[in-house]
Each structure stands twice: as structure tokens, then as C-alpha cells.
Amino acid sequence: MKILLSVTGGIAAYKAIDLTSKLVQRNHEVKVMMTPSAREFITPLPFQALSRNEVHIDIFDETKPEVIKHINLADWADINIIAPATASTIGKLAHGIADNMVTTTLIASTKPTFIAPAMNSNMYSHPAVQENMQKLSDMGYHFIDAGSGFLACGYIAKGRMAEPLDIIEAVESFQVTKQYNNDLFGKKILVTAGPTIERIDAVRYLTNNSTGRMGYAIAEAAQLRGADVTLVSGPVQLKVPNNVRFVQIESAAEMFEAVTTRMNQDIIIKAAAVADYTIERQHGKMKKKDEDFTLTLNRTQDILKYLGEHKTTQYLAGFAAETEQVETYARGKLVKKNADVIIANNVGDTSIGFKSDQNAVEMFFKNGASRKIEKMPKLEIAHEILTSIKQDMHVR
């Protein structure tokens, strides 16, 4: 998306730097505007460095005769974000006052605008400010509510600017809802994600390199498109997507139990990297010895195979993380596990492996068809996967 970020004059302006960085990391193109007051808190340089675009401040700085800057910016953006939004800027927009780069551009814009207020709690609750916010809401502006916490004034109260990731999720949710028109509404989808941990003793365990990012992206994308989503996850360092049922597990046995007791779904997408082997856990911590010792590994229950053998009307999707002969192994897994589709990726490629923010996959369907999805951010991959599954279900 093309995002026009407006930074106004509050102490929370420093958070806008992080917001810019995270937007760029999520493959959005960002241009930044600042009010004169914002420059009293932070310089334009960080925004320019992170966005790789000019920062716009002075409405009279017209360097290109062929365009009028504020009109050109207003037309360029897909989405406007004001973060932080002060009481002053909110009041100006509510009353049509265009006296700086930010207010002039936004009043000229016809694009969706998201406002993240940030101010002292007494200012936030003042009747005039609340009236202005209500007026803007009635006009179609979207507010991302302020949070509660420690404020610069020393109060612990409501008035903190929403966190950058919350702002991004609100914007992306709006855009996805608009793009896909809640096309998965009414569908029940179960997604598994992350690794499992197989305990050896009190301090040691067996695991793998899965970060859970692909599974979490699928859960997030499905929820944004209106699905009723359950996410079963091993231990990861990721924020749980909004509005999903979350089931935390640790071992392969726990994941088997969590998934097989929740099979009443329309779609099951098994993206987790479940351990193939486990070990009988030792009590306490095993002490180091001078000689070598041997661990005996026991096969875990094959969850995807079990689902394939016991499914009725469920659409079953599995993942195949391979390092060689990707198509051969994926098609073999498709038949062996009785899945409807296997989504394969080459984890030997570090640019799209477990720890990467991007992925590239190929989908192999039960009917013999296949679809290659080229390298892109994992959330976009997730949407492409869901679209292909929806199309395959419709064909069947």
C-alpha cells in the first residue's frame, strides 16, 4: 500500500519512527509529512532514512512546477495515517482549517484516514476534543483508540498513542476487508504453527528451527477475511493475531490432542513443524558423565496422516519443508497423508527459510494441479494460499 504518514507535535512523535520502520518492513511504501510543531520534538532525517522518500513540511516549498505538492500527495496515497494526532490537529480537521502541510493535504484527500490520538488524559476527555473526534468519525475518519499507561505529564491514564503494530493491524485489516470482502466469512479454519518441544530432562529438549511466522500469517489473513479461526501453536516469540482462538501447546503429543479434538472445521491447515521423534523424559537434570551416552528416540503420532485418515468433509492442507527434490517429496506426501493440498517450500534457501519474513511456495493439489507462488512477504503468501484453497474447494 501507499501510505501517507502525518506526524504532529506531541512527545509520541518518536513512536512514528518505529511505525515508519515497521510499515516499510511490511512492504508498504511510505511518505511522511510533519507539522512545524512536530519538528520541535524530532527531526525529519529518521523518516527520510527509513522511508527513502522526501519528508514534506513546508506547504510553500513547491519545487516541481508541474504539480501542486499537497494535491499530488493527497492523490498518491492509498491510506492516510495521523500518528500521533494532537488535539490541535484533530480540531483543525474537524473544522476544515488548512494552515499547514498536514491539514491542507488531508483536507484535500478523499482516501481513508486513520487517526491515532496522543495527548494528556484531561485533554483527551475534554468535551471539545471528544466532540471534534465524534465529528470526524461521522465524516468517515477512522480512529485507533488511545491506550492507557504512563504519560509524559506523569499521569497514568488514557492518552497514549496506540502501539505501531496495532496501528498497522488496523490499517491492514481495513484494506484486506475491503479487498477480499469477507470472502471467508462463516468458514471455520484451524491452523497449526510453530515448532514442538520434546523434553529430555528439566533443562534440555529437542526442537527445530520453526519460528511460526507462516502459520501465524495464515491465521491472521484468514481472520482478516472473516473466518472463525483457531490457532494451535508451539512455543514462539510472536504476537497472537487479533480475534482468533488461541491454544498454546508444547509437545507433539499435546498438539495431537489439541488438533484431533477440534476437527470440526471447514478447513485445517497444518503449518506447524511437529517433531517426528520424542524421548522418554528424565526426572530432574541429567548429570554430565565422562563417557558418551545414547538417547533412544520414539516415533511421534503423525498428525497429518491421522487427519487424512479420519477427515469427513474437512479440506486438509499440509506443509512440506524440504531441502531437495521438493516436488517429488511433496507429491508423495500428498498421497501418503490423504491431504487435499500440500504446500511445499525449500527451507534450504535462507532467504525464504524458517527465520525469513518472506517465503516462496508451490502448492500441489489432489486433482494433480499445481500453483507456484513467487517470493513475497509471508502475510501476502498467506492470502495467496487461502485464495487458492477457496478456489479449489469451489471447484470440488
Q: Active site residue: 71, 128, 152, 153, which one? A: 153
Q: Are strands 29-34 and 2-7 parallel, antiparallel or unpaired?
A: parallel
Length of the chain: 396
Q: Which helix (H) or strand (E) holds 125?
A: helix 121-125
Q: Are 259 and 314 in contact (CB under 8 A)?
A: no
Q: Is 287 annotated as a binding residue?
A: no
Could you tell me which residues come within 8 angstroms of residue 384 by beta carbon, excluding any fewer than 6 positions away?
373, 376
Q: Is 319 annotated as a binding residue?
A: yes
User: Is 15 an active-site residue?
Assistant: no
Q: What letter represents residue 269's amino acid? A: I
Q: For the beta carbon of residue 124, count every other beta carbon within 10 angstroms.
A: 19
Could you tell me where the beta strands, DSSP code E, fall in the chain? 2-7, 29-34, 55-56, 79-85, 113-117, 142-143, 147-150, 156-160, 188-193, 198-199, 205-206, 228-233, 245-248, 267-270, 277-278, 298-299, 315-322, 341-346, 358-365, 370-377
Q: Is 2 annotated as a binding residue?
A: no
Q: Is 333 annotated as a binding residue?
A: yes
Q: Is 288 annotated as a binding residue?
A: no
- Written as one string, the DSSP assignment of 240-260 is PPTT-EEEE--SHHHHHHHHH
Q: Rounded CA gap, 164 and 177, in Å?
A: 20
The residues assigned a catalytic role are 153
Residues that constitute the known binding site for CTP: 276, 285, 319, 333, 337
Residues that constitute the known binding site: 276, 285, 319, 333, 337
